[in-house]
Chain A
Amino acid sequence: MLEHKLLTERIDRINPLSIDDYLQAGGYEMLKKAIGMERIAIIEEIEKSKLRGRGGAAFPAHIKLMGIAKEEETVRYVVCNADEGEPGNFKDRYLMEHDPHQMIEGMVIAAYATRATKGYIYLRGEYDTAHSILSWTLDEARKHNYLGENILGSGFDFDIEIRSGAGSYVCGEEFALIESIEGKPGRTRVKPPFPTQVGLYGKPTLINNVETFSNFPHILRMGGEAFADIGTDSSSGTKLVSLSGNVANPGVYEVPFGVPIRDVIEKLGGGTADGRKIKMVQLGGASGPIIPEYMLDLTIDFDRFENFDSKTGAGAIIVMDERVDVFDVLKRIGEFFEHESCGKCTPCREGNLQLLKLVERFVERRASEKDLLNIETLSRVMHQTSLCGLGQSAPTAIFSTLQYFRDHYIDVIEHPQS
Chain B
Amino acid sequence: MPNIKINGKPLTVEEGTTILEAAKANNIKIPTLCYYPDLDIKSDCRVCSVEIVGQKGLKTACSEPVWDGMEIRTNSPRVLNARKVLTELILANHDANCTACEKNMNCELQTLANTLGIDENRFENVLEERPLDTANPSITRNPNRCIKCGRCVDVCKNVQGIHVLDNMGRSNEMEITPAYGKYLSDQECTFCGQCSSVCPVASITEKDKSDEVWEALHDEDKHVIVQVAPAVRVSLGEEMGARPGAIVTEKMVSALRSLGFDRVFDTDFTADLTILEEGHELLERVKEGGTLPMFTSCCPGWISFAEQQYPELLDNLSTCKSPQQMFGSLAKTYYAKKEDIDPEKLHVVSVMPCTAKKYEASREEMRVDGENPDVDTVLTTRELGKMVRQMGIDFDELEPSSFDDPFGITSGAAAIFGASGGVMEAALRTVSEVVNEEPLKQLDFEDVRGLEGIKEAEVELGGNTVRVAVAHSLSNARKLAEEVKQGDSPYAFIEIMACPGGCIGGGGQPYNTTNATRQERIDATYRVDSRMEIRQSHKNPVITTLYEEYLEAPLGERSHKLLHTHYQKRN
Contact = CB atoms under 8 A, between A and B. Distances in A.
Interface of A: 168, 185, 187, 190-192, 309, 338-347, 349-354, 357, 370, 374, 377-378, 381, 383-387, 392
B478 interface: no
Given A192-B65, A346-B45, A378-B85, A384 B58 contact: yes
8 A-B pairs with least C-beta separation: A343-B174, A350-B89, A341-B171, A381-B85, A190-B43, A353-B172, A343-B170, A385-B46
B92 interface: yes
B172 A352 contact: yes
Contacts of B47: 346
Interface in B11-67: 41-47, 49, 56-58, 60, 63, 65
B41 A190 contact: yes
B409 interface: no
B201 to A, nearest CB: 14
B44 A346 contact: yes
23 contacts: A187-B167, A190-B41, A340-B170, A342-B174, A345-B44, A345-B45, A345-B46, A346-B47, A346-B86, A346-B90, A349-B171, A349-B174, A352-B171, A352-B172, A354-B89, A354-B123, A357-B124, A357-B126, A374-B123, A377-B81, A384-B82, A385-B49, A387-B44
A354 B123 CA distance: 7
A202 B233 CA distance: 44
A385 B126 contact: no
Contacts of A370: 122
Contacts of B148: 343, 346, 349
A349 B123 CA distance: 14
A392 B57 contact: yes
B88 to A, nearest CB: 9
Interface string B71-95: 0000000100110011001101100
Given A345-B44, A351-B89, A385-B46, 5 more contacts: A185-B167, A349-B171, A378-B85, A384-B49, A385-B82
Contacts, number: 104
Nearest to A309: B56
B173 interface: yes
B169 interface: yes
A385 B86 contact: yes
A349 B65 CA distance: 25
A394 to B, nearest CB: 11
Contacts of A345: 43-46
B81 A354 contact: no
A349 B93 CA distance: 10
Which one of A344, A374, A385 has the highest number of Cβ atoms from chain B below 10 Å of its Cβ? A385
Interface of B: 41-47, 49, 56-58, 60, 63, 65, 78, 81-82, 85-86, 89-90, 92-93, 122-124, 126, 148, 167, 169-174
A178 to B, nearest CB: 16
Contacts of A352: 171-172
A350 B93 contact: yes
Contacts of A342: 170-171, 174
A346 B93 CA distance: 11
Given A190-B43, A354-B124, A385-B49, A343 B57 contact: no
Label chain B's interface by main secondary structure. Answer: loop
B171 A339 contact: yes
A411 B63 CA distance: 43
Contacts of B92: 350, 354
A383 B58 CA distance: 9
Contact of A385 (B57, B123, B169, B173): B57
Contacts of B82: 381, 384-385
A344 to B, nearest CB: 6
A354 B127 CA distance: 12
Contacts of A341: 170-172
Contact of B42 (A190, A192, A340, A357): A190
B86 A381 contact: yes
Contacts of A346: 44-47, 86, 89-90, 148
A346 B34 CA distance: 10
A346 B65 CA distance: 21
Contacts of B46: 345-347, 385-387
Given A349-B174, A385-B49, A344 B93 contact: no
A35 B44 CA distance: 44
Contacts of A381: 81-82, 85-86
B509 to A, nearest CB: 28
A168 B85 CA distance: 27
A343 B172 contact: yes
Contacts of A338: 171-172
B126 A353 contact: yes
A383 B44 CA distance: 15
Contacts of B123: 354, 374
Contacts of B170: 168, 185, 340-343
Nearest to B90: A346
A343 B126 CA distance: 15
Contact of A349 (B49, B57, B122, B172): B172
Contacts of B124: 354, 357
A168 B148 CA distance: 21
A350 B170 CA distance: 11
Contacts of B44: 344-346, 387
Nearest to A373: B122
Contacts of B56: 309, 384
